[in-house]
């Protein structure tokens, strides 16, 4: 199914996408992507701890994944990032230059484990924690936490800092990887398609109030870089 990957990466990717927390009903997509739309990238080793998968870079020593992307022409948000031509781009802050399978494989290479993900009482998601950072162009260039892209205009406040959880999402019975079919990579309302989610939901029941932060000077088409940093021991005891 994931031809072109190194065997170890393929095995890790397949193992990492079967978690399916029953956190919310999957919203209906407008239409499924055309067959063959997703282009799975081979894993290229660049150095002792460095790998490249298309435009996605992995540093297994620092446990970081970086990928470029662009700001979407949106205001209302329910998601942080989608793949190219993602069906959720109309309510997602960023389009990343990676498909779901490639992004997930890169994350698995840092030692993240989908088997650690679980839903606790009160809709609190637990599992392998990651930090998300966004590098914005200058002048001067700056790095901000991903939460700062999310803004509540009813309170005029940015989303508070939060842990983000790797879930790995899931394959569907039709063989498609749900993030690619549904068009979302990172979310904050605990949609089961997202590969990374906030540990707690944000903006549930207040659709329209959560928007792209107007105070960051983000413009449609602006190039940014997302960094995902894995926290805790790689694949170890929790």
For the chain, give every domain's residue range. Answer: 7-230
Q: Per-residue pLDDT for 224 more than 80?
A: yes
Q: Per-residue pLDDT for 37 more than 50?
A: no
Q: What is the pTM of this model?
A: 0.82
Check residue 9 and give its pLDDT: 38
Check residue 174 and give its pLDDT: 87
Ranges 26-40, 108-122, 123-137, 159-173: which has the least confidence? 26-40
Position with higher pLDDT, 214 vs 208? 214
Q: Per-residue pLDDT for 13 more than 60?
A: no
Check residue 14 and give its pLDDT: 40
Check residue 210 and give its pLDDT: 96
Check residue 20 and give its pLDDT: 33
Annotate the chain with DSSP letters as a single string.
Answer: --TTS-HHHHHHHHHTT-----SSPPPPPSSPPPTT---PPPPEE-SSSEEEETTEEEETTTTEEEEEEEE-S-SB-SEEEE-TT-TTGGGEEEEESS-HHHHHHHHHHTT--GGG-EEETTTEEESEEEEEEEEE--SSPEEEEGGGGEEETTTTEEPPP--EEE----B-TTS-BHHHHHT-SEESS--TT-SEEESB--STT-TTTEEE-TTS---TT-EEEEEEEE-SSTT---
The predicted-structure confidence for 40-75, as pLDDT tens digits, reads as follows 678 999 999 999 999 999 999 999 999 999 999 998
Q: Per-residue pLDDT for 125 more than 80?
A: yes
| Mean pLDDT value across the chain | 84
Q: Per-residue pLDDT for 2 more than 80?
A: no
| Residue 10: pLDDT band with limits 50, 70, 90 | very low
Position with higher pLDDT, 11 vs 116? 116
Q: Per-residue pLDDT for 23 more than 80?
A: no
Check residue 223 and give its pLDDT: 98
Check residue 236 and give its pLDDT: 53
């Amino acid at each position: 199914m994931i031809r072109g990957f190194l065997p170890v990466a393929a095995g890790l990717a397949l193992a990492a996408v079967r978690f399916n927390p029953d956190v919310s009903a999957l919203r209906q997509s407008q239409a499924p992507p055309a067959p063959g739309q997703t282009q799975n990238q081979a894993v290229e080793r660049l150095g002792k701890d460095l790998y490249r998968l298309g435009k996605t870079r992995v540093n297994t020593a620092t446990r970081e994944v970086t990928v470029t992307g662009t700001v979407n022409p949106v205001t209302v948000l329910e998601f942080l990032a989608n793949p190219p031509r993602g069906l959720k781009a109309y309510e997602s802050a960023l389009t990343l230059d990676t498909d779901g399978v490639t992004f997930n494989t890169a994350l698995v290479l840092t030692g993240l484990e989908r088997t650690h993900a679980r839903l606790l009482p009160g809709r609190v998601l637990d599992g392998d924690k990651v930090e998300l950072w966004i590098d914005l162009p200058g002048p001067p260039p700056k790095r901000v936490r991903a939460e700062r892209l999310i803004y509540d205009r009813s309170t005029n406040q940015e989303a508070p800092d939060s842990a983000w959880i790797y879930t790995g999402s899931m394959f569907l019975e039709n063989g498609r990887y749900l993030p690619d079919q549904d068009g979302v990579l990172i979310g904050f309302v605990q949609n089961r398609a997202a590969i990374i989610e906030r540990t707690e939901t944000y903006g549930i029941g207040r659709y329209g109030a959560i928007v792209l932060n107007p105070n960051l000077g983000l413009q449609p088409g602006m190039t940014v870089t997302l960094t995902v940093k894995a926290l805790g021991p790689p694949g170890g005891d929790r």
